Structure 1
Amino acid sequence: MRILADKNIPLAEEFFGNYGEIVRVPGREINAAHVRDVDIVLARSITRVDQALLEGSKVRFVGTATIGTDHVDVDWLRANNIGFANAPGCNADSVVDYVLSSLLLLTEEEGCRLRDKTVGIVGAGNVGKRLHERLIDLDINCLICDPPRAEAEGRKDFLSLDALIERADVICMHTPLIRQGEHATYHLLDRERIQTLRAGQILISAGRGACVDNTALRERLERKHDLRVVLDVWENEPAIDQALYALVDIATPHIAGYSLDGKMRGTEMVYQAVCRHFGLPIRCKLGQLKPEPWLRRLVLSGWAPPLEALSTCVRACYDVRRDVLGFDRYQRRLGMAQGFDAYRAEYPTRREFSTLRLELKRNAGELRETLESFGFNIKLANK
């Protein structure tokens, strides 16, 4: 078989090398000529996979090593008997790490504790659910809005979006992009809702860019720069609104889920789907291929202040400011659109909180609970 893979998909050769020739192409450059004579396409979110790309090709299977599928015309694939798989949940922990690192930074700048905030989570899928679990473990008050799940599961504890906006100090957007229907999420946070946001509220968007009306958000910030805003996803990527970019507190180029661990998980999930589709044996497992992190462990004294220790461990593993500064450097050198793509393509290695082992004394009760809640791997010393 011939396999075309996005240049930024890790471990493609290790997982798929035994099944055929692998051709690497940057995601935004993949076109109909590239796929004409291949059997499998392995894509990421920046490649539009539809009739225009695939018609007349030999492609029998498409895999996207991402959670989202709005860049893939799944109906057209199904109608043309082309297999398909995505990787739901593969980078959910990475996105949660990004959100927590951002929240920790903003609350430190404000001189308050994260535990003093009420966090509203919009979308209780893979990311929203895991974010909720970690925040609850930290004893942080959480609100959830997810109308489809509320209807399907009869959840009375879920709120409407407007009720959540009214009560939350932090609003985290983690919905898929749905353009039509009763539960459409396109511009879910629209002009009217953006105007109702209270001064000092924190808005974090790390799901899909078009779920927030970027123009309305820019106009609100230009008129009253009274919100704290974290944007990892944007409308019209990579040619994003440069004026909005300049107004937000934390601006990154769609990299919240870009941990090496999340990417590798996505590759493995698509590999398993390919094997099932073609009746091939599953010979590789991620545990055999995953590299060790360069920062493997930290040793903490039992008397370390929990919040200060948490800040140290988070920044040792993943400090969101690195991506803010990196993106700024790239866009100033290359321009916004080219800098957006270039930073993603050359993204520095990042590992998830769970890859860092923290060694503690057995009597470090509150410290242990705090660090475990953030997702770190805890090892208790014998003495």
Structure 2
Amino acid sequence: MLSIVADENIPHVEEAFSSVGNVHLLDAESITPEICLRADILLVRSVTRVHENLLKQSPVAFVGSATAGFDHVDRSYLRERGIPFVHAPGSNADSVVEYVLTALLRLHTLRMRTLEGLTLGIVGYGNIGGRLGARAASFGLRVLKNDPPLEKAGHSGFVDLETALTGSDILTLHIPKSPETYHLIGDAELRSMKPGAWILNTSRGDVIDNQALKRALKKGKIDAVALDVWENEPVPDLELLQKVTLATPHIAGHSVDGKLQGTIMLYKAVTQHFQVPGTWNYEQLLQDKLPSPLSLDPEPESSWLAALAQQLYDIAADDARMRKILHVPQNHIADTFRQLRRNYPPRRAFDRHTITEIPPPHVQAVCDGLRVGYL
């Protein structure tokens, strides 16, 4: 049988791939060149760097990453070796969108500022940004779209980055890591934003110059910041961590359903490539342990949506867990950050939830924005 080396944090990976081959589960740090000498298939998450040093002596004939991004994989090297590579684009897109919407509703509560009528600038309008734009309108947000590659490909309705920066009350970033996006948002860009603007980053930490962001926060230029990604992960800047409004450890896409979709996409790719019959019943897993219907007091109406969002996903609890990093020794910060990700509590996709009653003014936001089922 095929020998499969897999990151133990890929959900249900042993259950899924045991019919394909012998599955060897390891923590990401233990996936070494020596381990890969015994692997035909390598399945990873973003912690494992897949490059020549890892694979040059190995018989690995297929690499899969159960992640939307792939900046941890040297795809050029894999192409030179003729090793197929697949990842899971869009698998956690809705999870990230739901994180952003929850963060906005939390900031609405903390800053006592209504979302309706504000302008949301979305930088990067792909799998995540596009879905966010479609759902944000349900909250009365006006959307500015910025995505030069999509605009160059002939899509319409986009604005340049300067317009997105100067015209947005809220800026949210959904772009891949690349030389072009490194420190895309720096001192000049932050200065050009509206006074009191909000910034959210769920893409990659170094898309924002974290030192410039600290300077902007010290000057009071930026009113609120939600960061899920950090420069120099897994060791975030502790001064910045203290200053941001919401802080989380790179878990925006970590819903149960989003991570499971990543496994499903790898499973389909592997069984197709190796022409192995698919026997794993993943559909049943998606329906397992669905949350009980939600019921909220309709008053006060002004905070009802935020209260619902907190029941769907308690982002404040994630923020509190992240801030524990401030109280651990410097040499334990990286391990603490990794443990927060590894031991992340279950969070279901919003469309797995149902609700029994919705105040009439919020029906569109709940059904089209949050996409909670209305019983």
Same fold (TM over 0.5): yes
Please, what is the CA RMSD of the aligned residues?
A: 1.9
Shift in CA distance, 151/240, structure 1 to aligned 2, threshold 3 Å:
same
Report SS of the residue matched to 1:351: coil
2:19 aligns with: 18
The residue type paired with residue 52 of structure 2 is Q
Q: Secondary structure at the match of 2:370?
A: coil
Q: Does 1:215 align with 2:216?
A: no
**Paired letter, 1:259:** S
Q: Does 1:376 align with 2:371?
A: yes
Aligned partners of 1:123 and 1:174 also within 8 Å: yes
- Check whether the contact 1:91–1:266 (CA below 8 A) recurs between aligned residues: yes
DSSP 3-state at the match of 2:257: helix
Q: Does 1:353 align with 2:350?
A: yes
Percent of pairs with identical residues = 37
1:16-73 Cα distance to aligned partner (Å, 9 max, x none): 0111221122223322122111111111111111111111101111110111011101
Mapping for residues 66-77 of structure 1, pairs under 5 Å: 66-77=67-78
> In the aligned structure 1, how far is the partner of 2:47 from the partner of 2:301?
40
Partner in structure 1 of residue 85 of structure 2: 84
Contact kept, 8 Å, 2:120 with 2:172, in 1: the verdict is yes
Say whether residues 1:313 and 2:301 are aligned partners. Answer: no
Higher mean Cα deviation, 142-151 or 186-195? 186-195
Corresponding residue of 2:334: 337
Give distance in 1, aligned partners of 2:73 and 2:364. Answer: 41
Return the alpha-carbon distance in structure 2 between the equivalents of residues 210 and 28 of structure 1.
23
CA shift, 1:200, in A, is 1.0
Worse overlay, 42-51 or 321-330:
321-330
User: Which amino acid counterpart does residue 263 of structure 2 have in structure 1?
Assistant: T
Q: CA contact under 8 A between 1:268 and 1:285: conserved in structure 2? A: no
Asked if residue 127 in structure 1 is aligned to residue 122 in structure 2, the reply is no
Structure 2 matches for 1:245-256, cutoff 5 A? 245-256=241-252
Structure 1 CA distance, aligned partners of 2:302 and 2:165?
A: 27
Out of 200, 205, 228, the position equivalent to 1:204 is 200
Specify the SS of the correspondent of 1:67.
coil
Partner of 2:55: 54
Per-residue deviation at 1:223? 4.2
Q: Partners in 2 of 1:153 and 1:368 — Cα distance? A: 35
Distance (whole Å) between structure 1 residues aligned to residue 19 and residue 134 of structure 2: 39
Distance 1:22 1:296 in 2: 35
Secondary structure in structure 2 of the residue aligned to 1:287: helix
TM normalised by structure 2 equals: 0.93
Query: Mind listing any 5+ residue stretches in structure 2 that lack a counterpart?
Result: none
| Pairing 1:1-383 to 2, within 5 Å after superposition | 1-155=2-156, 157-179=157-179, 184-224=180-220, 226-290=222-286, 292-293=288-289, 295-299=291-295, 307-330=302-325, 332-333=327-328, 335-360=332-357, 365-380=360-375
Flag the 1:226–1:212 CA change in 2: closer, same or farther, 3 A. closer
Offset of residue 300 of structure 1: 5.6
Letter in 2 for 1:149: L
Q: Tell me the SS of whatever aligns to 1:153.
A: coil
Letter paired with 2:84: G
The one-letter code matched in structure 1 to 2:153 is: A
